[in-house]
Structure 1
Amino acid sequence: MSTIDFVSGTSCEQLTSEDWENIEEYLDERFEGKRLPNALNEILNKNNGGMPVQRCFETHNNKHPIKIFYDLSEDGTIILHESTNMFDMYLFYKERFNNLHLMPIAETSFGDVVVLDYEGTPKDNPRVALWFHECDEHGMNSQPLEHIADDMASFLDMLTED
């Protein structure tokens, strides 16, 4: 797995063992016991979200720059859509996703969302996909998910600087 550096001052406070216990409890209660992949846990343990230096990845259709990796901090805004907390973003997007198997982990500069896609995968090793935020005239998502990588470690290996 590649090392991902973060722009200084953009990460939240370091997570404690008590924070990790609360995170697992939340995942058990609200996300059917699914677990964040180890590669993501390592990043969150070291940086707890923020703006990555190695931020670009390519799909079949485009090059996408990551604006921010979401954090697991308890301190945040009361305005849900302005939060950078991963679980706040899950609550904000879950109805728009129209798929209970998606967990948002990052946002691109275009407003699209990098998600963990747990559908049909082990509970601790989801695929990584891109969810497009564009909606049709009925407010429904107008594009399907775009597969990025088979797992989180492979996704992190794809990230490059501008």
Structure 2
Amino acid sequence: MQTPDPFSLNRLEDIVEPPPVPWWPPALGWYFVFAIVGLWTVWLAVNLWLRWQGNAYRRQGLLELRTVAQGDFAGLSTLLKRVALVAYSRDRVASLVGAEWTQFLTRTCRGTDFGSEPACRIGTASFEPGNAACGEAEWNRVTELTATWIREHVAEVTE
């Protein structure tokens, strides 16, 4: 029996909970966020792909570096010239020989010095046949310097 007292505990009833908020479909703002994230992801993937494709000449140069025989400074110079012709304009690179060539290599990659022995032999290898005599440790230093240049040179921006 109901009591007329409005403050009686007998008049309490269970709380009616609303249904849970659904996850789908999202509000209109979320569609905007999804579109922005999707476009950014596509842009990032395309840029990474283009950068990977643009550095194919570096990977090929490093592969060919493994095939250069010990003491073949002319082979190193040829390989470096081929890599440089991809990264820089032909009129800037093709005519370089001797000290100009080694200065160019040093200038275009931070932390390298092609002007010191035995790396300076790269510049004169094509016209000095007796240039190949060097020890294994020196040759390893020169090939590591060459690999560093191939990996880290700053390529010319072409438009």
TM-score, structure 1 length as denominator?
A: 0.24
Q: Which structure has the greater CA radius of gyration? A: 2
TM-score, structure 2 length as denominator?
A: 0.24
More helix by share: 2
